[in-house]
Amino acid sequence: MMIRRLSTHAAAALVLAASLHSTTAGAAPGHRFKLDRGLQDRAGRSGRSRVLVELRPDADPASVVTRARGLRGAHLKSFDAHVVDVDNANLDALAADPAVLSVHEDRELVAQTAPSARLSATVLAVGGPRNGLDGTGVGVAVIDSGVSRHDDLTFLRGAGPSRLRVTDAVDFVNNGARTYDDYGHGTHVAGIIAGNGFDSAGQYRGVAPGASIVSLKVLDEQGHGTISAAIAAIDYAIANKVRKNIRVINLSVGASVTESFDTDPFTVAAKRAVDAGIVVVAAAGNFGRSADGTQVYGGITAPGNAPWVLTVGAYDAHGTPSTSDDEMAPFSSKGPTAVDFRAKPDVVAPGIRITSLAAQGSTLVVNYPNSVVSGVGPRGAGAYLTLSGTSMAAPAVTGVVALMLQANPTLTPNAVKALIQYTAFEEPGVTALAQGAGEVNADGAVRLASFFVTAKPGDAYPSDPAWSGNLIWGNYLVSGGVPRPDATAWASNIVWGSNIVWGSNIVWGSNIVWGSNIVWGSNIVWGSSLAQDGGFAPGVGPVEALGTR
């Protein structure tokens, strides 16, 4: 197995560091290092900030908040932090409190999508049920703007829909537990994952139409939210994993990257979910080009910047099942990741002009009537909506994961990612920083997942010359061998991309070879900002952001 190093050129690293991140050099007072980058800039100024405060285990949260003259909100279990509203003038005092370990901005969270003017059938290149698999029994947590009632999200009985497959719904924006979507994004995402195509005679069917959806609303009617709401939703998914058999979380949302994935509350919460055995799939972001159309690097959003997350970029399938006309979506964010400089995304999936479910009366439906599509029959009028973005690519992969886990429920999150990467279709001439291991291949991933159910040394290993045969492990492109089902790399305690002993237990019948370096140099253009703009590419209108030509 050959391993090629994807490494940063020193000059490029300096350019990105200078453009995206300030340092704490010269920061004062001395405890300000406990504040993240954004809060260091705000400390001592006018206004207030909503923050996440990590405390020492023996600390009394109420006393800490009182000393900082703040207002305490929810406790976030997966990061073990408290949401606090505090005056910026008191941020230094909060950081100086010996009971405080770290303070992080409750960053803005946005949907990673934009409406499109042209239509295409949903994820044709990914496909739907195969070999009798449709995701039945697999619970998928959709952390988004909610999920509305729709015929395509029901169990079909006889000639029509019956009970809703949204088995649970929690509203972290307006509080409560009901099924609704006032923005329209989460319903669209849920349809790509699990729509059964009832209102379109199967034309706009999702990838895993038997899967159950758990709707966790974190975005408001304008598609905006906070990372604290997303973390609370992750907490809920972990707590209810067994009750609802939640095996996958879909995050077609993103936040700016302001610190390492090792310390960011959002990415740490995602790791807790992965540690609990839940596959976390996240959109890479729509920051792959600048306002003038220049392709840029370094735009992966959180939590997709974390190595334990399965990060999905977008490509244009041109509405055909053939891969011959595929090309990368120009808006799709490319690696390396900000701060940590890791190779991302992991794979790409169809993300341009994807038609899926419409939430009637939602903001997206009202604001973009030309993107509304009707199905067939009396119930199909205005039932669908066409959108583009990495928001649409991520749920395509989530649906594939649901199929894999139905075929083989024992797969760990690490193993799921490995099989998806290994069986992907590599797009010729496209850097791994744009496509990861390649285009997701549902048939191959499910085939290999099924093989792993009973695989033992000596069995004929599934193969296909079209598969990439690659794994991206940290900044290494690993090739030349095959994933072994019982290899240590897939254990739940292994961080994807961390340093492990690569012995013969990682492959069958192949020795590891260290190959030539793959270097991203100083001649590429780095993004100057990861500031969010409603999910559109920075400074670009909704049509241009779609990759329309």
What residues does each domain of the chain span?
30-106, 110-451
Residue range 131-138: mean pLDDT, rounded: 90
Check whether the bond before 462 is cis (ω within 30° of 0).
no
Check whether the bond before 378 is cis (ω within 30° of 0).
no
Q: What is the pLDDT of residue 478?
A: 80
CB of 144 within 8 A of CB of 111?
yes
Q: What is the pLDDT of residue 470?
A: 87
Give the pLDDT band (50/70/90) at residue 4.
low
Q: What is the pLDDT of residue 535?
A: 39
Query: pTM here?
Result: 0.89
The residue ranking higher by pLDDT, 185 or 505, is 185
Average pLDDT value for the chain: 83
Q: How far is the C-alpha of 173 from the C-alpha of 117, rounded, in Å?
A: 30
Give the pLDDT band (50/70/90) at residue 527.
low
Main-chain dihedrals φ then ψ at residue 99, nearest 5 degrees: -80, -10
Residue range 207-215: mean pLDDT, rounded: 95
Give the pLDDT band (50/70/90) at residue 344.
very high
> Which residues pair with residue 313 across a beta bridge?
348
- Helix count and strand count (H, E) for the chain: 13, 26
Give the pLDDT band (50/70/90) at residue 253.
very high
What CATH code would you report for 110-451? 3.40.50.200
Structure tokens that stand for 146 in this block: 């909610």
Q: How far is the C-alpha of 171 from the C-alpha of 174, rounded, in Å?
A: 6
Taking only the tens place, the pLDDT of each residue in 391-416 is: 999 999 999 999 999 999 999 999 99
CB of 509 within 8 A of CB of 1?
no
Give domain 30-106's CATH number out of 3.40.190.10, 2.60.40.1930, 1.20.1250.20, 3.30.70.80: 3.30.70.80
CB of 230 within 8 A of CB of 309?
no
CB-count exposure of residue 501 (10 Å: 0-12, 13-18, 19+): exposed
150: left (phi over 0), alpha (psi -120 to 50) or beta: beta
Position 387 pLDDT exceeds 60: yes
Give the pLDDT band (50/70/90) at residue 3.
low
Taking only the tens place, the pLDDT of each residue in 100-109 is: 999 999 999 9
Q: How far is the C-alpha of 74 from the C-alpha of 80, rounded, in Å?
A: 10
Taking only the tens place, the pLDDT of each residue in 59-81 is: 999 999 999 999 999 999 988 89
Main-chain dihedrals φ then ψ at residue 67, nearest 5 degrees: -65, -30
Task: List the single range of 130-134, 265-269, 314-318 with lowest mean pLDDT.
Answer: 130-134
**Which residues are catalytically annotated?**
144, 185, 391
Q: What is the pLDDT of residue 201?
A: 92
Position 326 pLDDT exceeds 60: yes
Give the pLDDT band (50/70/90) at residue 494.
confident
Give exposure, 298-330, as e/b (b: 16+ Cβ within 10 Å): bbbbbbbbbbbbbbbbbbbbbbeeeeeebebbb
Q: What is the pLDDT of residue 501?
A: 46
Position 548 pLDDT exceeds 60: no
Give the pLDDT band (50/70/90) at residue 180.
very high
Position 115 pLDDT exceeds 80: no
Going along 227-307, which residue ranges are E strands?
A: 246-251, 253-254, 279-283
Q: What is the pLDDT of residue 1?
A: 59
The residue ranking higher by pLDDT, 129 or 398, is 398
Residue range 458-476: mean pLDDT, rounded: 87
Position 457 pLDDT exceeds 90: no
Position 499 pLDDT exceeds 70: no
Taking only the tens place, the pLDDT of each residue in 411-440 is: 999 999 999 999 999 999 998 999 999 999
> Which residues pair with residue 310 across a beta bridge?
281
The residue ranking higher by pLDDT, 176 or 450, is 450
Taking only the tens place, the pLDDT of each residue in 144-177 is: 999 999 999 998 766 667 778 999 999 999 997 7
The residue ranking higher by pLDDT, 528 or 428, is 428
3-state helix, strand, coil in the chain (%, to 5): 25, 25, 50
Position 545 pLDDT exceeds 50: no
Q: What is the pLDDT of residue 433?
A: 92
Using the 8-state DSSP alphabet, how is residue 495 labeled?
P
Residue range 252-266: mean pLDDT, rounded: 95
One fold for both 30-106 and 110-451?
no
The residue ranking higher by pLDDT, 510 or 487, is 487
Contacts of residue 101, defined as CB under 8 A and 6 or more positions apart, other chains included, come to: 34, 54, 55, 56
